[in-house]
Structures are given as C-alpha cells and as structure tokens.
Structure 1
Amino acid sequence: MIDIAAKIHDKFSIEFKVGFHVRRKRDQSNFSINTWMFIPNSLDINSLTYDKSHFYRDVKSYIRLITPVFLLREICEGEAIPLKNLERVFHKTASEPTRTAIKEYESQIKMFTAIFKSAIRDEVVHLLKNNIKDDMEYLIASYVESVRNILLKFRYLRKIINVPTISSEYLNYFFFADEYISNLVDQRTCYLIGFLQRKDAGKYEQSIGLLTSLWHDEAAYRQEMKYISVDKDNPLKNREFIFRRSILKKYAESDLFLRARKKKDGVLVEQIYYSLAAGLSMIFATTVAFSFQMKYGNFTMPLFIALVVSYMLKDRIKELMRYYFAHKRLNRYFDNKTEIGIKDASIGWIKEAVDFITEDKVPREVMNMRSRSALVEAENRITDEKIILYRKQVFLDRVEINKNSEYPIAGINDIMRFHLSRFMQKTDNPEEAIYYLNEEGESVEIYGEKIYYLNILMQLQFEDQMDYKRFRVSFTRAGIIRLEELV
C-alpha cells in the first residue's frame, strides 16, 4: 500500500510524505509512483532553462522507517513493549557497558522517544478531530493518565543506569530523550488547553483543569531539571528553546533514518550505447574513405576532400546517435539509484528519473484528471503548458527489515520537499492594482494577488492496485499561498 500526505513546509517549499507499506505475508514488495507536473508557460520553466540538475537541487528527500505504532496507553500498560525493552537494555548496559551494549542502549532510547512522539501526536490529532462530545472528557482524562504514567515509569528507569559503570556522557543520552519528551508534553498539552478554551471553556472546565495540572507539573519538573522552557518575555530564551528542540528532534529520530547511498543508474548500458554511436560513426567515415580511395586512388584531391568531409560528418553522426540512444533509454532506465539499508544490511532500493515530456505522452486518464478550463485550453493553443514527469520505483525486502528491528516495522517513509523558488523567479509582482467604483461613485484603487497555479498529478501503483492523487499549488512571487488536494 502507498499512502501520501502533502503540506506546505515553508513559504517556498511543499512536502510530500509518502509511506510505502510492505505486505506482512510477502517477502518482497515493489512500488511505483509517476508524478506529472503541469507548469504554466509564463514561468519559463522548460528543458532549456531547467535541466535535471536543477530539479534534483530543488528536491530534498529523507528516507526513514515508519515509526512503530503504539497507542499512548499501550506504552505504559499491559506488555508495554517499549518500556520493557528499555528496562532490559538498561540493566544489561549497567552490568556490562561494552561498546555494543552502549550502542544498543542509545538506539533503544531513541526508538522509545520516536514512538512516544508519534503516539502523543496521534492522540492529540484524534482529540482535535473528535466529534463525539460525550467522549471528550473521557478521552482527555485517558490522555492525562497515560502521559503521567509514561513519564513516571520512564523517569524511574534512570535509577538503573545512574551507577558508577555509566559515564556522564552515556547518562546524557537519557537526559536528551527526557528533555525532548518533556518538550512534547509541554507543547501538545498547552495546545490542547487552547483548543478546548476556544471550543467551549465552560463545558470542558474539568478537562481543562486536568490538562492545566499536567502542564504545571511538567513545568515544575523542567525547572528542577534546568531544561529551557518557553518564556513570553524572553525572546532569546525562546530562540534557544526552538533551537534545542530542533536538535533533540533530529537526535531522537536519527535511529529511524536509513542509510542511503545514491549513485547514477544505468552507467554500463549508457557506455554501451555511446560506444555503439562511436562505432556507427566510424563505419560511415571508413566506408567513405575506402570508396573514394578505390575510385580516385591514394594522395588525390578528391580523397583529401572526402576524408575532411567524412571526418566532419563522423562527429555529427556520433553526437546524433548519442542523442538518439540517450532518449531511447529514458523509459527503461533511471537517473539515480539509491541503496537503502539499516546498519550494514541492505533492505531495498529507490530509483528515480525526471524528464520534460510532451502532452501526447501523458496517459489519457491523467489528462482527463487535469481537466483544464476552457480558458486554459485556449491559452494552451498559443503557449502550451510544460510537463515534467518524475518517475520513482521502490523495492523493499520484508525479510531484511524484520531481521534488523525488534519492533514491527510497516515499511518506509520517503519525505520529499520540493522547493519552488526557481519557479517564482520570473513571476510578476505579487500584487496588481485593480479598480472599482464605491457607493459614492468614486474610483477606488485596490490591490489583488497575481497568482499562479502548479498542478501535480500522481499515479500510485502497488502490485495490482492503482490510485491517483491530484494536488494544486497556488503561489505568487512572495511565496506559496495554498496547497490543496483536488478530488
């Protein structure tokens, strides 16, 4: 299965989070994504002004394992696998702090933190979307109880590793996780309080009280541990808080990121094609030389002229054949191949390629989904849209993934950020003067946004399943305004 979530990452970039979920009963899984980008001609983005190197500079990808899914209450109740794994590794490391044990100790801390981050995020999102009013108080109480239990049990484990065999450097791994978890509880809980206050402060007074108590208790703990907290009157402190949170987030999630080695794809085949091109051009030049030599003999003016002309044409034929072979191989081969792995084990690969294509090479169902308006169709008769096709194929080995993780891993996330700064370089001013008459009959000048649209269609294929997604990005020279999924 392939799932995809799109959002605006910042003023000049959009983000697609693509999840590739491998089947549990299959040893191997193959995925394919074709993405067509329909670009207005006025942006002057075409094969001459925007080549492959520009595209790959504008794309930034992060490949990581999908975080193991646990409910908040599952982390601290019943089997409580994440906490049990931590306790086991803590005891082992305290007794035998070998290099291997320390590595596993740090890895388990990071994994626990990542699991908690996803669990509390999902729980808060569920609360924000909950439409059953009678369940809200119960859900809030469950959230507060689960968070308190997790914090209590996690922090109790510190006593296991607070021993002479564990240096302060290794103990810091625990404190890094503790500070980040505290940040998450602090910010998520405060956001929930604001949400309930805006929704109906009177009705949810009891729930707000529970959340407020949790927030104040955590604030006191942060002060005791000397963790940096948000301070409305101290911009420098808030800057430091955001900086540390960013670093701690990367640290906590680093164990999920996969080893990725990118290299050019199809290099051997490319060289074979180019060799064929050189051989064909040489055959032409040699044939011309032999023909003129047999007819006019050696050391004659006609032979001299024929050799010069054949040499000139030989190079042109070679370049034309190189161009022909380069374009013939586009559909079969890719620009890059990225080997992905966990530690030293390879778990699969990702291939990608990008090219400008003409409209007649776009599948009919994709063009139907593009559904241009009559005005756009009229414009295209004068200046046609440019179309970029970005192809991606993914192969994952379920057996190797299972071998290298103690947790059930559903697959990988490919987080791709696409920067649109180059697309905005040749746009007009972000605002344009327009006029209307007010109630007094006076001409009034106002300003409206000069907007551009980038349409993106995706074809997602997994085994015999085929799905399509359509997105539209609205932007001006000042930045991205909106990203919407169209049905």
Structure 2
Amino acid sequence: MLSLSIADQYHLNIQVEIPPELSGLQLQVYFFFPAKLAENSDVMDKTNFYHNILQKQQLVKVVPISCETIDKDLMIIKQTAYATAKTNQTRYKWALSEFIAGMLEVLNSTNGDQLAYIADRIEDFARIHDDEGKLTQAKIYKLALHLLLYYYHQALLQAKHQAEKADKIWFTQQIVKVAALAERHNLRLTHDTDTGRENLLNRLHIAKRVINRPYQLTRKKLKNGEVVEQLIFGFAAALAMAFATGVAFSTQRAFGNFSTPFFISLVLSYIFKDRIKELGRNYLMEKYFSRYSQHHYRFYQSERNKLIFEAKETMYRQSPEELPEKVNQLRKLFSRADSRSFRDALVYKRRYVSHINSDENPQFKFKDKLTINLSKRLRFLPQSIRQHWSESDVNVKSIKVHTVYPINLVVAIKTDGESIYQRYKLTTSRKGIHRLEKLD
C-alpha cells in the first residue's frame, strides 16, 4: 500500500497503491528536519515544498501477470485486429497495452528458460496480422512491435554477456533472428552515434506512453484553494487596516488633527499594520490549511474521460503540542538519539477519495507516485568533511567522511478501518541522500 525509496542523489519517492475495495485513504507525512536545515526559513516554506514535488498517477492491473494472461491478451489482439466498431477497437487497445506490459515485466525478471517463451510470443505477435495495411490501429501495433523487439534484443545481449561459452550459440542465433525481423519491419534496434541512440530511446519512451494510454490518468487541478488563500489575505489586511484606523481615530479625537502625537501615532500604526497583516495571514493560513485542503485534484481515465479518483492535499507546520499522540510517541524515539532535530514538524497531508463503482467489478488499483526534490534543502547544509584513517593489507590510507544529518519521517496511513504508523530515517549531507532506513 505504501513504499518509500530513493530515486537518486537528491530525490525521494513516496508511492501509494490503493486497491479497488478501498473507498478512500489518507496519507500524512511528518518531516522532522535537522536544526541546521529547519532554522533556515526557506526549508520550512510550504510554497517551496510544492515547487519541489512531482506527481504521477496511473492504473495498475490487480490480476498478476502470468503466461496465461499474456496468451489471453494475444488472443484478444488477434480477434479485434481488424475491428471497425469502436468497442472492439477499445478492446484491442486494452489488450495490446496489457500484452506489452506483461511481456516487459517478464523480460525485466527473466531467466534463460523464459527467453525461449518470449521468443515464441514475439513470433506469434509478428505473424498475428496477415495484412498490416488493413489494421485499424496500425501505428500503435508498429510501436508495440518496436518496443518488444528492442527490449528483447537488449535482454539477449545482456544474457549472452553473462552466459557460459557453450550457451552463447543459442543467444547468437536469437540475436540474428531479432535483427532480421526488425530489418524486415524497418525498425532500428541500435545506433552508432550518441545522437542516434538518444533519439531511439526517446522514441521508445514515447511509444511506451502511447501504448500505456488506457492505464494513464489525466490530472485536473481545481482552484478552490487559491480562492480561499486570497480571502485569508484580504481578511488579514482588513484586520490590520482596522487596527491602524482605530489608532488614528483615537489619537485624532484626543490631540487633534495637526498635532505631534497624531503624527507619531500614524507612523507607528502603519508600521504595526504591516506586521499585523503578515503575522495574521501566516497564522490564519496555518490554522485553516491544517483542517482543510490547499490543492484539489481530479483524476480521469484518459480513454473514457471518466472520473476515477480525486485527491486533496495540504501542507502546514505543527508544534509538538499540536502533533497526534502516536506521532509524539514515535518522535521521542529518535529525539533521544538526535538532539539536533528541529522541534516543529512540516506536515504533508494527502487525502484520496475513490469514484470507482463497486458494481463494475474493477480490475485495477490506483497508484500515486510522489517524487520530492530535496536538492535545494540539502545544499543549505555546510560541507563538513572529516578525515578517517584506516589500515588495510598493511596499507594505511585516509578516507574522507561527510558529516551527515538525519531527516526523520513519520508516515501515517489512515483508512476506514485502521491507522498505520511507520517511522523512517533519511541520512543526508550536502552530498545528497546516503541511505533510507525503515525503523521498528
């Protein structure tokens, strides 16, 4: 249901998968930054956080991929290849997408025995259409064939590189067959120049997106959070103006219009007016968005333009007194080991609501992948490197060790029936993310 992983040096992945039987789910991530990071105002800034987060949503088939499901999809492709009815054309696209996804998944976790099975399926797929000119989805079919041949060719080359000398004959024969099949369909599997290889991989990436379109979701952002934000700004400005006007009226009544006290009161009231507006705006936004959402998204199935899910997200700052009891209990576990942890938490909350009808017998689960960019935050850290001496094989050498700072995370998953809390530790430095640990 939930998984955290390191995407690269500066990016953290948070992935949520919601099965079709759940009507909703709430994700809350509590970030406890080290003091050296959190004391900088930009690190705890909510707008900065939103600017450094990427999101991707898609549908994932619940039924596990197997040889039986791949053969079934191949049969549907053969039956609907020349279909003119829109319903059958949609079935063709779905079957083609599932077939390619299944074949690529098998290729990613393949062994020598499965390569022979994949070779047979690719030959069946290449011969399944007697007349490609009459195909109703000829372009998608050619993209799919290109994808299959390329990734199978890559798998063969990798397997040949790792195989024993006696086993390389079979791989060589298969590589020659794949190359001949690609040449017959005017498809390239490799290129001699960097530009050619880059263009080839970009073409295949686009092909994968086109084929997986039935699984993809279109995201639409609503503007309700922006309207509320402007109303809060206006209300804070009205309070500040009411204070300044009240002080001016009171001084004017007591000392007159053209007096020194009236002049001083005007200057001071306008100074405090700006401060009251800023503090009032921050306070009201923290309180409002800790209860209500700041952004509202709706996710539609690309093929049918049907509403599948919606999500509401918000970001706010909480002191230890405001944190839930369970989070405070977990916080005490890492605060003993790390006295440099910042006192307040930056809380990211995302609530999902399903619009899938249970009567439809849904076969897909909803997957939401959030990628958080920590590059700007970690670059605020000072580059502190220490020398460490060690002896290995009678050789004494000096090793440079970066000073690391832990970012503690508490993740809460809430459904209709239960609440699950998990604790993670992200070890970081100016160099980037070193490791991610899930703690008991």
Instruction: Identify whether the pair has TM-score above 0.5, normalized to the shorter chain.
Output: yes
CA contact 1:109–1:174 (8 Å) conserved in 2 = no
Which residue is 2:424 aligned to?
471
How many residue pairs are counted as aligned between the two chains?
Answer: 436
Cα drift, residue 329 of structure 1? 0.5
Cα drift, residue 192 of structure 1? 5.6
Taking a change above 3 Å as real, the CA distance of residues 287 and 368 of structure 1, as seen in their structure-2 partners, is closer
Which residue is 2:357 aligned to?
399
SS state of the match for residue 145, structure 2? helix
Which residue is 1:224 aligned to?
184
Q: Which runs of 5+ in 1 are unaligned?
A: 129-139
Cα drift, residue 9 of structure 1? 2.5
Residue 417 (1) aligns with residue 371 (2): yes
Deviates more, 1:470-479 or 1:178-187: 470-479
Q: Aligned match of 1:260 in 219, 232, 242? A: 219
Which residue is 1:158 aligned to?
129
CA contact 1:346–1:400 (8 Å) conserved in 2 = no
Cα drift, residue 30 of structure 1? 1.3
The residue type paired with residue 12 of structure 2 is I
Which residue is 2:81 aligned to?
90
Taking a change above 3 Å as real, the CA distance of residues 283 and 431 of structure 1, as seen in their structure-2 partners, is closer
The percentage of counterpart residues that share the same residue type is 20
Structure 2: how far apart are the matches of 1:332 and 1:18? 22
Cα drift, residue 209 of structure 1? 7.6
The residue type paired with residue 213 of structure 2 is S
The residue type paired with residue 425 of structure 1 is R
Q: TM-score, normalised by structure 1?
A: 0.73
CA contact 1:46–1:386 (8 Å) conserved in 2 = no
CA contact 2:290–2:314 (8 Å) conserved in 1 = no
Cα drift, residue 428 of structure 1? 4.2
Structure 2: how far apart are the matches of 1:250 and 1:237? 20
Deviates more, 1:151-160 or 1:453-462: 151-160
CA contact 2:255–2:262 (8 Å) conserved in 1 = no
Which residue is 1:460 aligned to?
413
Residue 184 (1) aligns with residue 146 (2): no
Which residue is 1:340 aligned to?
299
Cα drift, residue 125 of structure 1? 6.3
Cα drift, residue 477 of structure 1? 3.5
Q: Aligned match of 1:434 in 372, 376, 388? A: 388
Structure 1: how far apart are the matches of 2:41 and 2:262? 40
- 1:383-422 residue CA offsets vs partner (Å, 9 max, x unmatched): x3663211111111112995xxxx9442211112122211
SS state of the match for residue 329, structure 1? helix
In the TM superposition, 1:189-338 aligns within 5 A as: 190-191=157-158, 197=163, 214=174, 216-230=176-190, 238-270=197-229, 273-274=232-233, 276-277=235-236, 280=239, 308=266, 312=270, 317-338=276-297
Q: Aligned match of 1:387 in 329, 337, 345? A: 345
- Coordinate RMSD, CA, aligned: 4.1
Taking a change above 3 Å as real, the CA distance of residues 109 and 228 of structure 1, as seen in their structure-2 partners, is farther
Q: Aligned match of 1:60 in 41, 51, 54? A: 54
Cα drift, residue 455 of structure 1? 2.9
- 1:415-465 residue CA offsets vs partner (Å, 9 max, x unmatched): 12122211331334485433467898x985432344343333311122112
Residue 33 (1) aligns with residue 27 (2): yes
- 1:88-121 residue CA offsets vs partner (Å, 9 max, x unmatched): 543223xx7xxx68xx84x666544542344245
CA contact 2:296–2:312 (8 Å) conserved in 1 = yes
- 1:271-325 residue CA offsets vs partner (Å, 9 max, x unmatched): 55555545555665676677678x7698685996698479636665555443432
- 1:218-259 residue CA offsets vs partner (Å, 9 max, x unmatched): 34323433432247x765654444333333233333332211
Taking a change above 3 Å as real, the CA distance of residues 317 and 376 of structure 1, as seen in their structure-2 partners, is closer
Q: Which runs of 5+ in 2 are unaligned?
A: none
Structure 1: how far apart are the matches of 2:362 and 2:370? 24
Taking a change above 3 Å as real, the CA distance of residues 214 and 473 of structure 1, as seen in their structure-2 partners, is farther
Which residue is 2:98 aligned to?
115
The residue type paired with residue 18 of structure 1 is V
